[in-house]
Structure 1
Amino acid sequence: MKSEPVDLLVIGGGVNGTGIARDAAGRGLSVLLAERGDLAGATSSAATKLIHGGLRYLEHYEFRLVREALGEREVLMKMAPHIIWPLRFVLPHHPGLRPAWMIRIGLFLYDHLAGRQTLPGSVGVSLDKTDPRGTPLKDEFKRGFEYSDCWVDDSRLVVLNAMDARRMGAQVFTRTAVTAAKREGDLWHVTLTDQYTGASRDVTARGIVNAGGPWVRETLTGAFSQTPKNGVRLIKGSHIVTRKLFDGDHCYIFQNADNRIIFAIPYERDFTLIGTTDIQLDKLDGPPQISPEETDYLLSAASEYFRQPVTREQIVWAYAGVRPLYDDGDSDPSAITRDYVLDLDPGKPMLLSIYGGKLTTYRRLSEHAMQKIAPFYPQLGPSWSGGRPLPGGDLNAASFAEFVAGLQRDYPALDAAWLTRLAHRHGSAMRTILGDAKSMADLGESFGGGLYAREVDYLMRHEWAREADDVLWRRTKCGLWATAAERERLAQWMAQHKPNMEQP
Structure 2
Amino acid sequence: MSHSDFDIVVIGGGINGCGIARDAVGRGYSVLLAEMQDLASGTSSASTKLIHGGLRYLEHYEFRLVRESLMEREVLWKMAPHIIWPLRFVLPHHGGLRPAWLLRLGLFLYDHIGGRKLLPKTRTLDLARDPAGKPLRRGYTRAFEYSDAWVQDARLVALNARDAADRGAEILTRTKVTRLERRDGGFRVELTDRETSRIREVTARLVVNAAGPWVDQVLRQSTGSNERHVRLVQGSHIVVRKLFDHDRCYIFQNKDNRIIFAIPYEGDYTLIGTTDRDFAGSPDKVQISTEETAYLCEAASEYFERGVTPDDVVWAYSGVRPLYDDGASKAQEATRDYVIKVDGTGQEGALVNIFGGKITTYRRLAESVLEPIEQALGARGAAWTAGATLPGGDFPVGGFEELVSRLKAQAPAVADATIRRLARNYGTRARDILGSAGNLGRIFAADLGENEVGYLMDQEWARDVDDVLWRRSKLGLTIGGEARAEIAAYMSTRMDARQQGDRLKDAMTRG
Distance in 2 of aligned mates of 1:16 and 1:330: 23
**Aligned counterpart for 1:325 among listed residues 323, 326, 340:** 323
Which amino acid in the other structure matches residue 172 of structure 2? F
Deviations 1:189-246 (CA, angstroms, capped at 9, x unpaired): 1100011121211000010000000000011113x14205452100000000111110
Name the residue aligned to 2:65. 65
Name the residue aligned to 1:455. 452
Deviations 1:426-453 (CA, angstroms, capped at 9, x unpaired): 0010111101234xxx423323242111
Unaligned 5+ segments in structure 2 are 503-511
Deviations 1:119-169 (CA, angstroms, capped at 9, x unpaired): 0111111112x5320100011101110000000000000000000000110
Tell me, what secondary structure is at the counterpart of 1:330?
Answer: coil
**Aligned counterpart for 1:316 among listed residues 304, 314, 318:** 314
Name the residue aligned to 1:484. 481
Greater shift after overlay, 312-321 or 360-369? 312-321
Distance in 2 of aligned mates of 1:398 and 1:329: 44
Gap change, CA 1:15 and 1:105, over 3 Å in 2:
same
Which amino acid in the other structure matches residue 171 of structure 2? V
Name the residue aligned to 2:509. none
Name the residue aligned to 2:506. none
Aligned length: 496
Residue 122 (str. 1) matches residue 122 (str. 2): yes
Tell me, what secondary structure is at the counterpart of 2:333?
Answer: coil
Which amino acid in the other structure matches residue 336 of structure 1? A
Greater shift after overlay, 428-437 or 321-330? 428-437
TM-score normalised by structure 1 residue count: 0.96
Shift of residue 38 of structure 1?
0.1
Tell me, what secondary structure is at the counterpart of 1:10?
Answer: strand
Asked if 1 retains the 8 angstrom alpha-carbon contact of 2:440 and 2:448, the reply is no
Asked if 2 retains the 8 angstrom alpha-carbon contact of 1:132 and 1:247, the reply is no
Distance in 2 of aligned mates of 1:35 and 1:175: 6
Gap change, CA 1:299 and 1:397, over 3 Å in 2:
closer
Name the residue aligned to 1:202. 201
**Aligned counterpart for 2:332 among listed residues 331, 334, 339:** 334
Deviations 1:88-137 (CA, angstroms, capped at 9, x unpaired): 00001000000000000000110111110100111111112x53201000
Greater shift after overlay, 276-285 or 202-211? 276-285
Residue 496 (str. 1) matches residue 493 (str. 2): yes
Greater shift after overlay, 46-55 or 113-122? 113-122
Distance in 2 of aligned mates of 1:309 and 1:397: 37
Which amino acid in the other structure matches residue 450 of structure 1? D
Asked if 2 retains the 8 angstrom alpha-carbon contact of 1:447 and 1:482, the reply is no
Residue 392 (str. 1) matches residue 389 (str. 2): no
Tell me, what secondary structure is at the counterpart of 2:160?
Answer: helix
Residue 232 (str. 1) matches residue 230 (str. 2): yes
Name the residue aligned to 1:377. 377
**Residues 41-60 of structure 1 correspond to what in structure 2 (within 5 A)?**
41-60=41-60
Name the residue aligned to 1:140. 139
Asked if 1 retains the 8 angstrom alpha-carbon contact of 2:81 and 2:397, the reply is no
Distance in 2 of aligned mates of 1:84 and 1:278: 25
Name the residue aligned to 1:257. 255
Deviations 1:266-313 (CA, angstroms, capped at 9, x unpaired): 001111000000010123264210000000000000000000101223
Asked if 1 retains the 8 angstrom alpha-carbon contact of 2:213 and 2:283, the reply is no
Distance in 2 of aligned mates of 1:398 and 1:358: 26
**Residues 433-452 of structure 1 correspond to what in structure 2 (within 5 A)?**
433-438=433-438, 442-452=439-449
Distance in 2 of aligned mates of 1:116 and 1:48: 22
Greater shift after overlay, 346-355 or 211-220? 346-355
**Aligned counterpart for 2:272 among listed residues 260, 271, 274:** 274
Distance in 2 of aligned mates of 1:83 and 1:290: 26
Distance in 1 of aligned mates of 2:498 and 2:386: 31
**Aligned counterpart for 2:299 among listed residues 298, 301, 311:** 301
Tell me, what secondary structure is at the counterpart of 1:318?
Answer: strand
Distance in 2 of aligned mates of 1:324 and 1:455: 33
Shift of residue 346 of structure 1?
2.6
Residue 88 (str. 1) matches residue 88 (str. 2): yes
Name the residue aligned to 1:173. 172
Deviations 1:383-405 (CA, angstroms, capped at 9, x unpaired): 10111000000036851111112
Structure with the bigger percentage of helix: 2
Among all aligned residue pairs of Structure 1 and Structure 2, give the percentage whose two residues are the same amino acid. 56
**Residues 17-28 of structure 1 correspond to what in structure 2 (within 5 A)?**
17-28=17-28
Name the residue aligned to 2:363. 363
TM-score normalised by structure 2 residue count: 0.95
Asked if 2 retains the 8 angstrom alpha-carbon contact of 1:450 and 1:478, the reply is no
Asked if 2 retains the 8 angstrom alpha-carbon contact of 1:91 and 1:253, the reply is yes
Name the residue aligned to 1:465. 462
